[in-house]
Each structure stands twice: as C-alpha cells, then as structure tokens.
Amino acid sequence: MAATRRLANTVAVITISHPPVNALSSSVRHALVKEFGEASRDPKVEAIVLNGSGRKFSAGADIREFGTSAIKTVSLEDINSTIEASQKPVVAAIEGIALGGGLELALACHYRVADIQAKVGLPEVLIGILPAAGGTQRLPRLIGVPAALDVIVRGRHIPASEALKLGIVDEVVQGNALDAAIQLARKVIGYPLNKKRLSTVRISSDSNLEDFLDTAVEKAKKQFRGAKAPLACIEAVRASVHLSYHQGLEKERQLFFSLWATGQPQAQQYAFFSEREAGKWTHSSGARWDTEEAKPIRTAAVIGLGTMGRGIVISLSKAKIPVIAIEQDAQQLEVGKKAVNSLLEREAEKLKQQGSVPSSNLGSVHFTLDFGELQDVDLVIEAVYENMELKKEIFRKLSSVCKPDAFLCTNTSGLNVDEIASVTHRPNQVIGTHFFSPANIMRLLEVVRGQQTSLTAIATAMNLGKKLGKVAVLVGNCPLFVGNRMLGPYLEQASYLLEEGYYPEEVDQAMEEFGFAMGPFRMMDLAGLDVGWRSRTEKGLTGAKVPQGTPARQRLGSRYSPLADILCESGRFGQKTGRGWYQYEKPGGRTGKPDPWVKDFLQKYRKTHQIKQQPSNPEQIVERCAFALANEGFRILEDGIASCPEDIDVIYNNGYGWPKYRGGPMYYASSVGLPKVLDTLEKYYKANPDVPSMKPAFLLKKLAALGGPPIKEWRTQVGKPVNKL
Ligand SMILES: CC(C)(COP(=O)(O)OP(=O)(O)OC[C@H]1O[C@@H](n2cnc3c(N)ncnc32)[C@H](O)[C@@H]1OP(=O)(O)O)[C@@H](O)C(=O)NCCC(=O)NCCSC(=O)/C=C/CCCCCCCCCCCCC(=O)O
C-alpha cells in the first residue's frame, strides 16, 4: 500500500508508505488522491493528519520517475491544491525528512508539526530542477522572499529548530510528532482556514525587493558558474512577487521544462544516483557491500597533524569517534593541537547554534607523542607527508604496537599501498584512505584496496567513510589511484597550451566557464607546485638525475613540459610563496592576479624553443583538457582500477571541482558522444604522436565502435575488463 488511512477518533491519519524514503511515486500520488478524497467525504472525519511511515515524512518526488511517463500521471500540485482547499483542517506530522515535493506537500497543509530531529528543505536545485509543485510560490508567501530564496537556491536541509524560527513549521516537539499533530488537529477543528491557505496570501513588492532579486541573480551567476537551476529558482520566486498564485505556478512549470531541456537535470540526477551506487561496492570474488560485515570503530588514531591530519581528526570527532592524535615532536604536536582545538571550537559553536550539546556530539581528542598509547585503538589513519620510507617506518611501528585486529590506513594520495602493507605483519588489515583537503569539509574519500586487503577491511573503511559523512569510492591500487592519475594528462595538456600561446588566466577562465570550481593553474597554485616538483625530481624527470644531453622538452621519447619545474626552480611554489602561476598579495595570500613575470617568461620560453603558436580558441582548451581526463578514465576502467564510469564521475564531482551539472568526465564524454571524443583524440594524437596520454584508449574505441551506448550500459558492453576490483 502506498498510503494507508486510519481513524483516531474524528481525525483521519493518512500515512505515506513507500520505503525507504517515502518518495512520492505515481502509486503514492494515486493513493493520496484516494485516501484524501475518502477522508474528506467521510462525515465522521473532522480533521486530517498526514505523515510518513518509518519515521520519515517524505524525500519528495520519486527522482527515478523524471524522464518517464509516470511523472505525468496525477500531478503533485493538483494534490496540494486539493489539500489546501480542504474544508477540514489538515496537519502535516513531519518526522525525519520533508524534502522537495515532501515539503511542498506539507506546505499545502494548513499546519505543520515537526519532530526536533527532523530536517526540511527544498533541495531540488541540487538535482538540477526547481520545486515545481508550488514550492517556489508557497514558501515566499509563508516566510518572505529573502528567506525563501535562501532556502530554495541553496537547497540545504534545515534542522527543525531553524525551520521553527523561519516560520516553516508551526510547532516542534521532542516526543512523538504524530501524537502532537493529532492533538493540534483536534484543537483547530472549526477554526477558520483562509489565512492558512498559502496560495491566497499576497506578497507586497517594493523596489528593495527588486534590487534584492537582481543582486541574487548576479551572485548566483558567480557562485554557481553555469548551473541553470539556481537562476530558474530565482525567476520562479520573482514570479511569486509579481504574479497571481496560478500564473506563478504556470511560470514554475515553464521553468521546469526549460531546465529539463538543458540536460543539466539529467546529469545531476545521474550524479545523485551514482553517489548512492558508489557505496554498493562489489569485489571480483563475488563479495559485496551487503555480504561483508564492517567492524565497529569505537576509537581511532591519526598520525601526523599537518593540514590533512587535522582535517581527519575533526572528521572523526564530528562522527563522535574518540581520537588519539600523534605528532613526532613536542613543537609540532603543540602547533597541531592549537589548530585542531580551534577547529573543534568552531564545530562546537555550530552545534550550539543548532541547539545540540557539543560534548555529547563531538568525539574527544587526546594529543600525544607516545605510539604506545595506540595499543587499544580500532583503527589508525597515517597522514604524514608523501614519503615512502617515512610511511614504512610508521607502519612498522604500528604493526608492532597496535592490537592484532586494528586496521591500519594510509592517507597516501598515490603511493603504493601494497609496498606500505608489506612492512607489517598484517597486510590484510592495511588499506588506503585517501582524504581530500580540507578533509573535514571535502566529501570524497578514495578507499584504496591493496592486493592483500581483506574484505572486512574494505567493508570497515567504506562504512567509516559513510559514518564520516563522506562519499566513499572503492578503487584499486595503482600509482596515484583514480583522481590524481587522471590529473596527469589533464595538467599536461594545460601546460602544453601555455607553450602553444595561451596564458594561465586564459586556460583557467575557459575551464572555469566550463564550470570547474578552479582552473588547472589556480588549482596548482593552491595545492603547491613543489609537491609535483618533488615527485618529478624523485622520478628523475627533472633535476640532477636527468641524463646529460636530454632535450629540454622531451623525456623518454615523449613530449615533456618543464614549465612548472622552471617556476619551482625560481622559488615560485604558488600561494604559499606568494608567487606561482599567478602573483598574490603576500605569501599565503588567496587572491591571484596575472603576473607580468609569467607572461614575459612564457614569451621568452616560446621564442627560445621556437614553438608554433595556436590561434586562440577557448573551445579547444576545454576539449583538450576534458578529453584528456576522460581518456585516462577509460584506461582506468580497462585496468580495473575503478569498477565503473559512475565511480570515476563521483570522484571528479566530489574531489576535483568538476561541475556536477555536467555529470563527471565520463558522463560528459558520453553526452558529447564517444565517436566525437574518439575522433578528436585521434586527430590530436596523429598530429602529436609524442603525447602518448592522448592516444585513444582501447575501451573508448570499443565503445565508440558500438555507437557510444548510454553510460549505464557500459558495464555490460565491456564485460570483464571492468570490475576487476
Ligand atoms: C536525505 C535522503 C532522503 C536520505 O539519505 P540517506 O538516509 O543517506 O539515504 P540514501 O542512500 O541517500 O537514500 C536511500 C535510498 O532512497 C533513494 N532516494 C532518496 N531520495 C529519493 C527520491 N527523492 N526519489 C527516489 N529515490 C530516492 C536513494 O536513491 C536510495 O536508494 P538506492 O540505495 O539508490 O536504491 C537523501 O536520499 C536525499 O537527499 N534524497 C533526495 C531528496 C531530494 O532531492 N528531494 C527532492 C526530489 S525532486 C522533488 O521533490 C520535486 C518536486 C516537484 C515535482 C514537480 C514535477 C513537475 C513535473 C512536470 C512534468 C515532468 C515531466 C518530466 C520531463 C519529461 O519527461 O519530459
């Protein structure tokens, strides 16, 4: 049953029942029409309460129905209008969540009672659409335009206490929201309902409101770079000011359809489901996320309190896991302790504002220099800098100090997990947990499985990721894993573009207009150019180990760009030194400006090496960089390092600033058309045979030969090569 009805004296309780989240599928909508109609007609019923089964009101429209004919049957807004027009008072009892269409349904009710743990919101913008069942018209009429705009454009999940302050709900209760709603329903029988019908409320407009909306448009254009849904949300809210409710609804609907035609909702909804699929890992042995049991992590330790370590400590503490934090000397421990404590204070402040008690919601953090204190922890995360010998030394110690069943994780961003595991007596308990900086904010976690990593270790690390609020993706062990491995060819192309006549700001602008949070050169300046330089020096690509007579722009017979090396040799490490691809106001400064030094340097460099200049073409910048990424993605699939294209896209969407409205690099390649991607790469590679990273991957050729099937079919089309994890 999609909805049930029972009678509590004279109050009919209609319960939405569609596990796991009570999405308002076509069958639920049909059931609601039936149950509500019968309750309205039943002379014994004087009031109606609407709630959801499983202590969840509703997560909104069934996203899987978009793009199918099911969404067109029984419009949710028609149900909302019927509820609002009811002569009997209707109360929504909100437990768990009332999101999207779920909140729109609740807004059509005359009263809303929420449980203190509940969250409400209109997150449609995050899946590329707008609240199109009256949400953009009713919410501004309830809480005013500025507050409604913030809720709708940011799409955040609002805690019940804040919803009460905003006026979204009428009452918040500690105990049983359903009982409280039934009580309220009884109390208001016979009260006039006119003022409770939000569609009848008028919003008075003035020039301040117009200025406010115009400013919101400009802000959203900058903040959401290329995403159409936030702008459509603002236009719909603007309509609530100028138009009648019914005209506003029509506008909402038109905006929904024009958004749908951009292709962005489809990409964002693909990204939504891909994130959920990432947690459902499978293993070549047949083991899966639902067959393997994760061990509980009651206590953890973090080794190293640099930027990464600090963020990991905070993440663990926020998940209520007590942490032991270790540094190698007293001075570094003190610096790390100060930084962690100040971050913890900020978290405590946020919790207080949400009405929660920090001491019961944050795990304790204990600082020490003594490895001996790790003997009882369930899991350790090593987060020292990228140096194999140092990591091995730490893992040797951990192997002898920690209890035999403790899991040993390395936060390496690309070193060989098997080599690290090899120095321990328990390689089956060793696993990579690659966090992204700042680790307490970034959602991505690459879980790297070594040759000998046990299924329990995989299940535990994946489960820990979920507990930390991250999107954990299981990947295989190869140099740089998935995300960073794909960056190689991408940054290589960015560098070649500079050699061929572009400037860092032009390449960055093209990639940022494409939607990236940051272009490649800004990103390198932020991360620190010295990181890559150190690794290239170790590999003998630059510095003293390069054999005499090696051409400046060639290594091992392939094209090589020494530009970043030259910058580092001049002490330009990026933001940290105040100079990199850009110049900054001071070392550690954040605002980069184009640097005349870089321009002059590039001009001289091109002249010295007599490099043919390309005519300016921003489209070419995007194509070369984005296709280079996707091509490496296909190789990663061939190698079985990622088990499906969706996982690669989740990594790029959540760890590398790829615009979600383009789905991810693999989805993008699929939407551009694999034959076109192949053709572009083939042409480039033919003209540049010394750039092997642009040689089209075998898997790309195979899929293109099949005509470029939809991405969800890639797994079946390519058969065994993928899913070797
Ligand atoms: C917070 C959550 C709800 C829960 O989080 P969590 O507990 O961590 O669990 P998850 O793993 O995330 O989810 C559990 C499973 O539930 C699935 N799920 C979640 N939400 C939905 C949903 N809304 N629909 C379907 N399925 C959902 C999830 O995938 C998991 O299942 P599985 O493991 O993958 O099998 C969290 O899930 C969350 O945040 N959910 C999303 C909330 C959300 O975004 N809600 C808004 C939805 S959109 C909406 O409500 C829109 C309303 C207006 C509709 C108006 C339509 C007008 C239509 C006009 C005509 C249309 C024509 C169409 C175009 C055409 O075809 O031409």
DSSP string across 437-499: SSTTT--EEEEEE-TT--HHHHHHHHHHHHHTT-EEEEEE-STTTTHHHHHHHHHHHHHHHHH
Q: What is 501-608's CATH superfamily?
A: N-(1-d-carboxylethyl)-l-norvaline Dehydrogenase; domain 2 (1.10.1040.10)
Residues 602-627: what's their mean pLDDT? Answer: 93
Segment 399-449, tens digit of pLDDT:
999 999 999 999 999 999 999 999 999 999 999 999 999 999 999 999 999
- Read off the pTM: 0.95
Whether 641 and 469 have beta carbons less than 8 Å apart is answered as no
Q: What is the DSSP string of 610-671?
A: TPPPPPP-HHHHHHHHHHHHHHHHHHHHHTTSSSSHHHHHHHHHHHS---GGG--HHHHHHH
Residue 722 has pLDDT above 80, yes or no: no
Whether 403 and 379 have beta carbons less than 8 Å apart is answered as: no
pLDDT of residue 204: 83
pLDDT at 224 over 80: yes
pLDDT tens per residue, range 632-663: 999 999 999 999 999 999 999 999 999 999 99
For ligand 1, whether the C-beta of 366 sits within 6 Å is no
**Residues 123, 157: contact at Cβ < 8 Å?**
yes
Reported as a single tens digit per residue, the pLDDT across 66-75 is: 989 998 899 9
CA of 290 to the centre of ligand 1 (A): 22
Cα–Cα dist 484/432, whole Å: 14
ipTM of the modeled complex = 0.97
- Ligand 1 atom 25, closest CA: 62
What torsion, rounded to 10 degrees, do the Cα atoms 203, 206, 209, 213 define? 100
pLDDT category of residue 725 using cuts at 50, 70 and 90: low
pLDDT above 50 (res 723): no
Domain 3-262 in this protein, CATH class? alpha beta
Per-residue model confidence as pLDDT tens digits over 662-673: 999 999 999 999
Residue nearest to atom 48 of ligand 1 (CA): 61
Closest Cα to atom 39 of ligand 1: 59
Would you put residue 90 in left (φ > 0), alpha (ψ -120 to 50) or beta?
A: beta
Angle of helix 483-499 relative to helix 520-527, nearest 10 degrees, comes to 120
DSSP for 509-568, written as a single string: HHHHHHT-SS-HHHHHHHH-HHHHHHHHHHTTSSSTTSPTT--TTEETTEE---HHHHHH
* Cα 200 to ligand 1 centroid, rounded to whole Å: 29
* Mean pLDDT, rounded, for 368-385: 97
Determine how β-strand 593-594 pairs with β-strand 582-583: antiparallel
User: At residue 598, does pLDDT exceed 80?
Assistant: yes
Q: What was the pLDDT predicted at 608?
A: 97
pLDDT digit string (tens) for 82-94? 999 999 999 999 9
Query: Does residue 48 have a pLDDT over 70?
Result: yes
* Close Cβ partners of 628 (under 8 Å, ≥ 6 residues apart): 489, 490, 492, 493, 693, 694
Q: Averaged over 465-492, what is the pLDDT? A: 97
Q: Is the CB of 260 under 6 A from ligand 1?
A: yes
Q: Is 64 in the pocket of ligand 1 (CB under 6 A)?
A: yes
26: pLDDT strictly greater than 80: yes
Class of domain 293-475 as given by CATH: alpha beta
Q: Is the pLDDT of residue 589 over 90?
A: yes
Q: What percentage of residues in the chain have a pLDDT greater than 70?
A: 99
CA distances from 239 to 85, 101, 145, 234, 256 (A): 22, 19, 11, 9, 14
* Residue 707 Ramachandran class (φ > 0 left, ψ -120 to 50 alpha, else beta): left
Res. 372 pLDDT band, cuts 50 70 90: very high
Domain boundaries, given as residue ranges, for the chain: 3-262, 293-475, 501-608
Instruction: Give the alpha-carbon dihedral of 450, 452, 454, 459, to 10 degrees.
Output: 10
pLDDT computed for residue 718 by the predictor? 61
pLDDT of 614 strictly over 90 = no
**283-306: average pLDDT:** 94
- pLDDT over threshold 60, residue 501: yes
Q: Which residues are catalytic?
A: 104, 124
pLDDT confidence of residue 717: 65
CA nearest to 66, candidates 1, 129, 10, 149: 129
User: So what's the pLDDT on residue 719?
Assistant: 53
Amino acid at 415: L
How confident is the model at residue 346, as a pLDDT? 94
